[in-house]
């Protein structure tokens, strides 16, 4: 039987935050999450004008004085990623020119993260390019959640606080009182993430799926390393895009005798044809967080969306008060 882990990231009281210099602003990418973060901190989002000219150019104006303030700009760079990224850059530039003391880009989902290295000749390392753009625009600090790979932290020449959606996912799984859990990594590259997840689940056993990727967004499951017979398999990944990898993994687990299959991921990218694959009945539940907003047409019966607003809000509070962030996840 799964016991509830001792992860306490959601206090029942508002944190004590000096609001005199703290300002929160939200881009258009995920205003609902930004509003939840603001409520956690006991404050309102700052006023801002955002409009688009006839030729598609974006215009942003901060509608209050932020001179000498610590500004936090909440904007995941999700689909449409280029528009969201450009909006973030303009917000940063506007705050820099308004004499903000410190500008922190709060990026719940970091787009272009999968282009983090060269796998063939004449490719761009776009994750590094985006880091350069954000830094050059004038950001002083980054707050990001579940980056696709740890090395992206090193792409920034400014401080970066990396936080995790794992505690939210684990607390939810614990509330379900599941038994005979085995945590499964859908590919070899995600083993470290799955191992950390399994450790928090009372040192649950670990299984690994070996796959061969033939093209972008196309995966072929080849082999299962570990025993899932008669067990509840929990597939763990940082994101679900088209759902090909994780759906094929789930089918293999069913074939190998898994009693139930759950999927857990922080970022619900859900590009076509993810909804069709994820709602096919192979999963008991697909558990994600709200780092990326999901339109109604992307929701299905097996989907469970959890909020990471308290984790991000608590991190903002600790960064602003110069206290430890890493201790939240111990």
Q: What is the per-residue pLDDT across 80-126, written as a single tens digit (0 to 9) for each?
A: 999 999 999 999 999 999 999 999 999 999 999 999 999 999 999 99
Do residue 94 and residue 178 come from a single domain? no
On whether residue 187 sits in a domain, the answer given is yes
Do residue 303 and residue 181 come from a single domain? yes
On whether residue 314 sits in a domain, the answer given is yes
- From its phi and psi, is residue 122 left (phi > 0), alpha (psi between -120 and 50) or beta? left
By annotation, the residues acting in catalysis are: 211
- What is the per-residue pLDDT across 23-38, written as a single tens digit (0 to 9) for each? 999 999 999 999 999 9
**The pTM is what?**
0.92
Do residue 300 and residue 315 come from a single domain? no
Quote the pLDDT of residue 326: 93
| Count of structural domains within the chain | 2
Quote the pLDDT of residue 211: 75
Give the domain CATH number at 314: 3.40.50.2020
Do residue 26 and residue 160 come from a single domain? yes
Does residue 220 surpass a pLDDT of 80?
no
Angle, helix 309-320 to helix 31-41, in steps of 10 degrees: 50
User: Is residue 12 very low, low, confident or very high in pLDDT (cuts 50, 70, 90)?
Assistant: very low
Give the whole-number percent of the chain exceeding pLDDT 90: 88
On whether residue 16 sits in a domain, the answer given is no
- Residue 185 to residues 35, 157, 182, 207, 286, Cα–Cα distance (Å): 33, 31, 10, 6, 15
Do residue 303 and residue 171 come from a single domain? yes
Does residue 1 surpass a pLDDT of 90?
no
Domain of 91 in residue numbering reads as 22-164+310-329
Q: How far is Cα 262 from Cα 242, in angstroms, rounded to an integer?
A: 17
Mean pLDDT of 47-69: 97
Mean pLDDT of 287-310: 97
Do residue 30 and residue 147 come from a single domain? yes
Residues 6 or more apart whose Cβ sits within 8 Å of residue 164: 145, 146, 266, 311, 329
Does residue 221 surpass a pLDDT of 50?
no
On whether residue 229 sits in a domain, the answer given is yes
Does residue 219 surpass a pLDDT of 60?
no
Mean pLDDT of 284-307: 98
For residue 314 the two structure tokens come to 């608590």
Do residue 191 and residue 294 come from a single domain? yes
């Amino acid at each position: 039987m799964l016991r509830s882990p001792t992860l306490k990231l959601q206090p029942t009281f508002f944190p004590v935050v000096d609001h005199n210099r703290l300002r929160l602003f939200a881009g258009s990418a995920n205003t609902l999450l930004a509003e939840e973060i603001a409520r956690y901190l006991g404050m309102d989002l700052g006023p801002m004008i955002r409009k688009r000219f006839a030729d598609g150019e974006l215009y942003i104006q901060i509608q209050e004085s932020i001179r000498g303030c610590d500004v936090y700009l909440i904007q995941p760079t999700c689909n449409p990623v280029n528009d969201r990224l450009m909006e973030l850059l303009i917000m940063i530039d506007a705050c820099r020119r308004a004499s903000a003391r410190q500008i922190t880009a709060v990026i719940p989902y970091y787009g272009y993260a999968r282009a983090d290295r060269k796998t063939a000749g004449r490719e761009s390392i776009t994750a590094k390019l985006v880091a350069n753009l954000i830094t050059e625009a004038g950001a002083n600090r980054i707050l990001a959640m579940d980056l696709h790979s740890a090395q992206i932290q090193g792409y920034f020449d400014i401080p970066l606080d990396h936080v995790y959606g794992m505690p939210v996912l684990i607390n939810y799984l614990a509330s379900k009182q599941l038994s005979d859990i085995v945590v499964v990594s859908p590919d070899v590259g995600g083993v470290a993430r799955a191992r950390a997840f399994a450790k928090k689940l009372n040192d649950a056993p670990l299984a690994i799926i070996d796959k061969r990727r033939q093209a972008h967004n196309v995966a072929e499951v080849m082999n299962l390393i570990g025993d899932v017979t008669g067990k509840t398999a929990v597939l763990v990944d940082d994101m679900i895009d088209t759902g090909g990898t994780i759906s094929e993994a789930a089918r293999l687990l069913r074939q190998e005798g898994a009693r139930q299959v759950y999927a857990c991921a922080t970022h619900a990218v859900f590009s076509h044809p993810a909804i069709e694959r994820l709602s096919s009945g192979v999963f008991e539940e697909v558990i994600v967080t709200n780092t990326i907003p999901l339109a109604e047409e992307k929701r299905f019966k097996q989907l469970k969306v959890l909020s990471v607003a308290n984790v991000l809000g608590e991190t903002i509070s600790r960064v602003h008060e110069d206290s430890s962030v890493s201790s939240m996840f111990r």
